[in-house]
Structure 1
Amino acid sequence: MTEAELFDMTRQTLWVAAVVSAPLLLVALVTGVVIGLFQALTSVQEMTLTFVPKIGAMILTFWITMGFMNGTLLAFFQDEIVPRIAGG
């Protein structure tokens, strides 16, 4: 494996990681901002108010996007990793 192939594989791996993690990170961001605005508007400063809804939203998002994440990782593994391991 040449240096260029290694860099290309690293770039593709980082891109797949970003694509797979994007739904969870976006939901956590949006949920955090909405709850932060709610806390600022109502002056409610409860610590669990930010934690529990964010975890719940992330679990729901993970459950909904599990098929997409699995398909993306499986396609990357079968199309990129396995052929390179096999010497193709």
Structure 2
Amino acid sequence: MLHEPAAQSGPDASADYKMRIGVWMFLLYASIYAVFVAINLIKPLWMEKIVFLGLNLAVVFGFGLIAFALILALIYNHMCGLHEADNKPAGEGK
């Protein structure tokens, strides 16, 4: 198989922005996950309560964490894409 040479890329002008947004989103997610862990440690019987369509709190909270992570990823991608588009040099096309 013939492969083309790797595309050359320069420094990422948006790296600081991406890192800042990523750290804040990580801290947000980690704090919500910490609540999940704290409930399991302090009041484990709460996780057995049925809260939604016959599912207990543990299942709903767990799936909620997964869905929240996916939503955060989409928001991160969108925000970084907008920032890169705004900071693209004038001569650079798509």
State the TM-score, normalized to the length of structure 2: 0.46
Bigger relative contact order, structure 1 or 2, given CA contacts below 8 A and separation 6+? 1
Name the structure where helix makes up a greater proportion of residues: 1
* Greater Rg by CA: 2
